[in-house]
Structure 1
């Protein structure tokens, strides 16, 4: 299914109503056009622009309103590029393959000599997106408190909102692959009868349920009131209310001693400034002989260093305050600030691409139901772009996801 380009409802999406203008925009738009054309001419894409088809051939993009695209791209970089998709200034027949070509070449889309000027034009993360204790709950709510019913529409019945583990078996249904992911993390951290488990980042309760089914007692913490309510409901329905408690709490406020600390794709919301705090907190909460299992989305270390502190389309529209670590950053943070060391890791980024493909197909197939929940056409394009943008990162190999086991040295 392809979403029809639709202009945003006036007033509903601040910043998308009006195209940037003025002398500064005219200059930056001209520069953006030149850089865009130079990049596209050498890429395996087919971009229709002003009646011409540009590129060496491949996934198609059609520019409907060039002046708007380059005005937004010139003023706001990749944020503007994504916003131009939301407004329908450009479209793609199949969005993921097109974005995958861009993601594979992300480090060189802008000529390297010009990248030295990044600091002059790159938007910086605003202070109100800083993931401090007094702001994190509001940042988390922006995404996870949207609507439990929305997430139910495109996730599988386990309501797992993280990479599934297929291990090359794409015949698996998504729920089974999600359970495989959870069970592997429980296995490597040796969760079983009598294990005291702390989960940082509840999701909608599936990991806690599966840990309790093994005989563990679980404390799970979240900053999403919507997730807390539904997770408690699911845990009670599964018969484990006596083994699992779900608290609305910041991980930095947790006390106690646990045999296993588990955290699935929560480090991405921690913020690079607080990675030392995150890992030192885990270290302090682990009992002697305890193990921590972290599932983390990763970016290349050089790109992490180059983009640290930047403000992206994903930050603005999906995950405010979020930032992805690299594998090296995890090693550095644990070595410098904890007694923990990485003793096992499993990378399965292509499985995330498959997970996202299934989410996106289901989301598009249920677009009418999404609108019945009160979300508009611009939201549909935003969410589709988010899922395809993310999938392209994993399909191109630019992003990866790992399960990391941490033990005391």
Structure 2
């Protein structure tokens, strides 16, 4: 799994810029346009939260766990609906931001949440965290499905019979290349280079090979209720994010200035955050990546 240091690099290092661009509860997972790209980013994110709430039953009196809660957008929605939300993240900046807004968030490995310490839940959600649960090294060692299987077993132990688990994640798409070809030294516009750039942006993280691998791993404990691709929605979401990040702001300029020493000393930082391209967008457009909204029910 991507460790705390990896996630601090991706999410905590530029935490303030994220929140200045996307709001205090920065929603950094794919929105739900359903093909209607006239929606604003905020409307599409609300549509996503409505969908999650409908699928897993977020309503008063219910207790919901958010695995990899980010800056707390889903937890805020859970609270708005009158339910109790508990979140976990490995980013110290995200945890601090959530707590400032009164959200119940713990600095914790999502794979280690257990009933003894956290109690039971009526439903579980995870939006965009599954991508970090397996590292490239673990995948190369053939441990990917074991890791996913252990996660599903753990989540099942938190839920009642027929309790639901909403999972939203990127996966490798139908045009994914042989991972051994991925290289930052490949030609700049090649599939190999874009995938390597993503690896710099999200160190320690490896994706499932299609949603089918996830469904297989869940099978001993969960049945699949629905699986919907959100690839086109994610392309639009990234477009809107990039527009927000590009909006001029004195406070953002000052924050970026503080990162100059890191930019000068870290080639990984320069590649990850100042390459001038959106590796995610290109990979989705080329179908090297896909994006799925999966609803599971405990057997």
Higher RCO, 1 vs 2 (CA within 8 Å, ≥6 residues apart): 2
Rate the CA distance shift 1:245–1:371 in 2: closer, same or farther, 3 A: same
Report the equivalent of 1:399.
289
Partner residue of 2:13 out of 143, 146, 149: 146
Q: Identify which range, 358-367 or 180-189, moves more after superposition.
A: 358-367
Query: Equivalent residue of 2:122, what SS?
Result: strand
Report the equivalent of 2:105.
246
| Residue 231 of structure 1: how far off its partner (Å) | 1.0
CA distance in 1: counterparts of 2:159 and 2:74, whole angstroms = 18
Give per-residue Cα distances to partners, 1:360-386, cap 9 Å, x unaligned. 123233387544212347867742547
Report the equivalent of 2:50.
183
Partner residue of 1:260 out of 120, 123, 132: 123
| Residue 191 of structure 1: how far off its partner (Å) | 1.5
Query: Equivalent residue of 1:288, what SS?
Result: coil
CA distance in 1: counterparts of 2:131 and 2:97, whole angstroms = 22
Q: Does the 8 Å contact 1:153/1:362 carry over to 2? A: no
Report the equivalent of 1:292.
165
Rate the CA distance shift 1:334–1:387 in 2: closer, same or farther, 3 A: farther
CA distance in 2: counterparts of 1:173 and 1:207, whole angstroms = 18
Unaligned runs of 5+ in 2: 184-194
Query: Equivalent residue of 1:287, what SS?
Result: coil
Report the equivalent of 2:230.
348
Q: Does the 8 Å contact 1:252/1:281 carry over to 2? A: yes
Give per-residue Cα distances to partners, 1:134-178, cap 9 Å, x unaligned. x72222112111132111233256410011111222222211211
Q: Identify which range, 250-259 or 323-332, moves more after superposition.
A: 250-259
CA distance in 1: counterparts of 2:8 and 2:15, whole angstroms = 12
Larger Rg: 1
Partner residue of 1:375 out of 241, 259, 274: 259
Report the equivalent of 1:8.
none
Q: What is the TM-score with the length of structure 1 in the denominator?
A: 0.59
Q: What is the TM-score with the length of structure 2 in the denominator?
A: 0.79
Rate the CA distance shift 1:255–1:387 in 2: closer, same or farther, 3 A: farther
CA distance in 2: counterparts of 1:143 and 1:346, whole angstroms = 27
Q: Does the 8 Å contact 2:198/2:280 carry over to 1? A: no
CA distance in 1: counterparts of 2:280 and 2:175, whole angstroms = 19
CA distance in 2: counterparts of 1:310 and 1:381, whole angstroms = 15
Q: Does the 8 Å contact 1:165/1:351 carry over to 2? A: yes
> How many residues matched?
265
CA distance in 1: counterparts of 2:121 and 2:15, whole angstroms = 30
Q: Does the 8 Å contact 1:314/1:386 carry over to 2? A: no
Query: Equivalent residue of 1:289, what SS?
Result: coil
Rate the CA distance shift 1:386–1:194 in 2: closer, same or farther, 3 A: farther
Report the equivalent of 2:216.
332
CA distance in 1: counterparts of 2:54 and 2:180, whole angstroms = 34
Q: Does the 8 Å contact 1:222/1:249 carry over to 2? A: yes
Partner residue of 1:322 out of 202, 205, 225: 205
Rate the CA distance shift 1:385–1:345 in 2: closer, same or farther, 3 A: farther
Matches within 5 A, 1:50-89: none
| Residue 395 of structure 1: how far off its partner (Å) | 2.5
Unaligned runs of 5+ in 1: 1-130, 237-243
Report the equivalent of 1:106.
none
Rate the CA distance shift 1:333–1:266 in 2: closer, same or farther, 3 A: same
